[in-house]
Structures are given as C-alpha cells and as structure tokens.
Amino acid sequence: MAIVSMRDITVHYGKNAVIDGLSLEVERGENLAIVGPSSCGKTTLMRALCGFIKIARGEILLNDGVVSSPSRRIMVAPEKRNIGVVFQDYAVWPHFTVFENIVYPMRKRKVPKEEAKERALAAMAQVKMQDFADRLPSQLSGGQQQRVALARALVSSSELIVLDEPITNLDAKLREEMAYEIRNLQKTIGVTVIYITHDQETAMTISDRMVIMDKKGAIRQLGSPEEIWNHPKDRDVYAFLGVSNFLPLLNENGSLHLVSSSGKRKFGGLGADIPEDFGSRLLLASRPTDIRVTPLPDAAGGVEGVVERVTYLGHQFDYFVNVGGHTVRVQEDSLEAFGRGVPAEGSPCAVEFLKPAVYEADPLDPRFDL
C-alpha cells in the first residue's frame, strides 16, 4: 500500500511551472531517494507534499486520504499531515535548547509530559546528541544541528519523514556516518523515508529505490540503485550518475566508425547490442573504471589512443587518453596498474571499453562535428 501518492501534480511559482504533471507512489516502509541536479524542483516537490505550497493541478494522497487537491478544494494544513521534516538549513530554533527543540513536536501533539521526555531522550540518543540536551543551537556545530533536526523529525512522525539535503553540509567522513545512521534508523523503526539530494552517491547508499529527476522537474527514471546504475535509461541519467565518457559512433549498415579528428575510423568489437530502432548516430558511454589502457605493442584489441596525462592518486591512477581527438578519462586500480605496467605520458596505447552502453545521439551533438 502506498503511503504517498502524487497524481499528475503541477506546481507553479509565479507563471513558471516548476513541476508539470508528475506522478509518484511511495511504498510504506521504503527508503526512497529523490535525486536530481540543483533547481530541478526536488525541494518544491517536498514543499507541496508537506503542504507549504499549493499545487495547481492533480492531487496528493497521504495514507489514501486526499491532502491536496485543487479541483476538490482540499488543502490540509501542514500541521495535520503528520510528516517529519528535516530542512535543508536545519531550521533548528535558535531560542530553544536541544531538548526543547526535540520535545516541541510532542508538546504540540499533546503527548503526556513523561512519555514526551522519554521519547525525546531516546531520539537524542539515536542521533548521539544525549550529552547536549541543554545547549543552545548557536553552541553547536553544523553537523550537530543537523542531528538535532533529524531527532526532531523522528519524534514528530513515526510514519513518514522527509529529509531535504540533510547531510550535504557535513564533511566527507561524518556524511558517510550519517548516511549509514539514516539507513539504519529506517530499518530499525520501519518509518518511511523520502530522501532528497543532488548527490547520487549518498542516494545509492541510503535508498531502496531512487527517483532521478531532470532539470524540467519530470521523473526520468525510477528503480533500485542497482537497476539504475546498471541500466541508465538514457544518456542524461547515465551522465548524472557519475563521471562518464561519451564517444561518437556512426553506424553504417552494421559496421561502426568512430568520428575522430582525422576522419572516420573503423571501430570494432563493441560488446553491446545496438537496438534496431536506433539511428546512425550513436554514443558509446563508458565509466572510467570500465576502460582498460594497454601500451601499444602488447595490445590485443581496442582503439588506438595517446596517453596525455597520468596522475597517481595513491589508491588509483587517473589517465587522460586522447582517442581520435576525444579525451577519455580512465581510472585504474593502483595494484592492477603496477602489475600491468603504468603507461608513460605521451606514449601510444590501445583503449578497450569493457562494459559500454550505447545511446542514440542528440541530432545536434557537437561531438560529431570534429
């Protein structure tokens, strides 16, 4: 049973439609990440769900009850929707202590004093803030404030929590810890979590399902992290998920050619099927870790290229390889690179694409104009 249903919703800011006809179901107890580039309407979606803004069309259901529906003139107030929210800027009240902040939602929902205190203390322990009960937010670091906000959201709803970019302002180590914590909380308490972020990596660590939104505020792909990572629906999703290389290919009656600065070059051994309905202009997509670079004399296959730069990062090597006028980024595990021999800068090499994906190219793609 879906806890949240958004049906064909449209949201306007002024005259612009930020979200236009979006539909989404969130299953009870799942951990859903909504991912997309900045200003794609993720936060707007969250605000519409929480009842901070009106939708212009469509309807939103919570627990199968309609909470927003302009056509039926329904607009349930935010305080009656029972959603815990962690805001992007934490929104921890500066004039309340940590404890007062966390106990506030229960005070408003008339939880008996003793029980409220108990639950607040438990929530503080969950986010490891139990030693800071009497501090004011101004005496806390950003990460600590964020944890207070999280504890407050946890006590304010046992059903649904929305987190808007909750850990992006933390340093890398704390971010990892908090991401793990959030996933853990959700698994132990069973609350439904909607996690909004522009950082696809954290989204993948945390979520059961991911929603990829595009700049126009529409959903591009919905699925488990594995599904999306392994089968990005189109080249935008592919590009959004991480560092990616795209090479322009021309499909001339089944034989492939790379468009390079020195004209067309035969491109053999793609290792991926090309759907029949694709046109002649294709893009080969490949992750840096899925490319193998071999010094030329020993090469068994692949296309020719020149290693332009080699960077040693400790755990891995970064290569910038020029393949027919296109720069291809390659990452190789250090151990493997030392075993196989590190190519010298300026040396010719063969480049093999191990797990490529193929997409149809945009008709205006500049990569074809070399």
Partner 1 sequence: MKFFLTSMFGRETSRGDRRFGLDRIVFLLSLFILIVTVLMPMLMIVVRTFFKGTQPDWALFTRVVMAPENLSAIYNTVKIGFFVTLFGTVLGLFYAWLIGRSDIPMKGLMKALFTIPYMFPPFFGAMAWSLLLAPRSGYMNKWFMQLTGSTSPLLDINSIGGIVFVETCYYFPFVFLQVVSALERMDPTLEESARIAGAGQWYVIRKITLPLVLPAIAAGAMLILISSLSHFGVPAILGFSNNIFTLPTKIYQLINRSAGSFDGIREGAALSILLVAVVVIALYIQRIVLKTGHYDIIKGKSMRPMLIKLRGAKIPLLGISLLSLFVIVVVPLFMIFIVGFLKAYGLPLTLQNLTLRNYEYILGQSKMVRDSIMNSLFLSVSSGVITMFLGVMIAYVVIKVKPRGKGFLEMLSLLPYSIPGLVLAIGVILVWSGAFGINLYNTIWIILIAYIARYVSFAMKSASASLEQVHYSLEEAARSCGATHLESLRDITIPLIRPGMIAGFFLIFLPAMRELTTSVLLYGPFTRTLGVAIYAINSEGNTVQASALATVAIGIIIAGHFALRYVTRDRKGL
Q: Which residue ranges make up the site for partner 1 (CB under 8 A)?
A: 14, 50-54, 75, 77-79, 81-85, 87-89, 91-95, 104-105, 108-109, 136-139, 149, 152, 156
Cβ proximity to partner 1: between 124 and 291 the closer is: 124
Alpha helices (H) in the chain, listed in sequence order? 42-50, 98-108, 113-126, 142-156, 172-189, 200-206, 225-230, 235-240, 334-340
- Say if residues 53 and 44 touch (Cβ distance below 8 Å): yes
Cβ proximity to partner 1: between 54 and 215 the closer is: 54
- What angle in degrees, to the nearest 10, is found between the helix axes of 98-108 and 113-126? 130
Element (H, E) at 324: none
- Say if residues 18 and 44 touch (Cβ distance below 8 Å): yes
Cβ proximity to partner 1: between 105 and 302 the closer is: 105
Smallest gap from Cβ 110 to partner 1, in A, equals: 9
SS3 breakdown of the chain: % helix, strand, coil, rounded to 5?
A: 30, 35, 35
Smallest gap from Cβ 6 to partner 1, in A, equals: 17
Smallest gap from Cβ 234 to partner 1, in A, equals: 34
- Say if residues 123 and 155 touch (Cβ distance below 8 Å): yes
- Say if residues 219 and 212 touch (Cβ distance below 8 Å): yes
- Say if residues 155 and 106 touch (Cβ distance below 8 Å): yes
Smallest gap from Cβ 33 to partner 1, in A, equals: 20
Cβ proximity to partner 1: between 87 and 319 the closer is: 87
Cβ proximity to partner 1: between 87 and 359 the closer is: 87
Smallest gap from Cβ 151 to partner 1, in A, equals: 12
- Picking from 291, 266, 299, the residue whose alpha carbon sits closest to that of residue 352 is 291
Q: Which residues of 1-34 are buried (b: 16+ CB within 10 A; e: fewer)?
A: ebbbbbbebbbbeeeebbbbebebebeebbbbbb
Cβ proximity to partner 1: between 47 and 292 the closer is: 47
Cβ proximity to partner 1: between 138 and 253 the closer is: 138
- Relative to beta strand 160-164, strand 192-197 is parallel
Cβ proximity to partner 1: between 50 and 178 the closer is: 50
Q: What angle do CA 63, 72, 7 make, to 5 degrees?
A: 50
129: CB partners within 8 A, 6+ apart: 98, 144, 147, 148, 151
- Supply φ then ψ for residue 80, to 5 degrees: -100, 5
* Rounded Cα distance, 29 and 13, in Å: 32
Smallest gap from Cβ 14 to partner 1, in A, equals: 8
Smallest gap from Cβ 160 to partner 1, in A, equals: 11
Smallest gap from Cβ 71 to partner 1, in A, equals: 15
Token pair recorded at residue 292: 């193998």
Cβ proximity to partner 1: between 10 and 82 the closer is: 82
Alpha helices (H) in 157-199, listed in sequence order? 172-189
Smallest gap from Cβ 96 to partner 1, in A, equals: 9
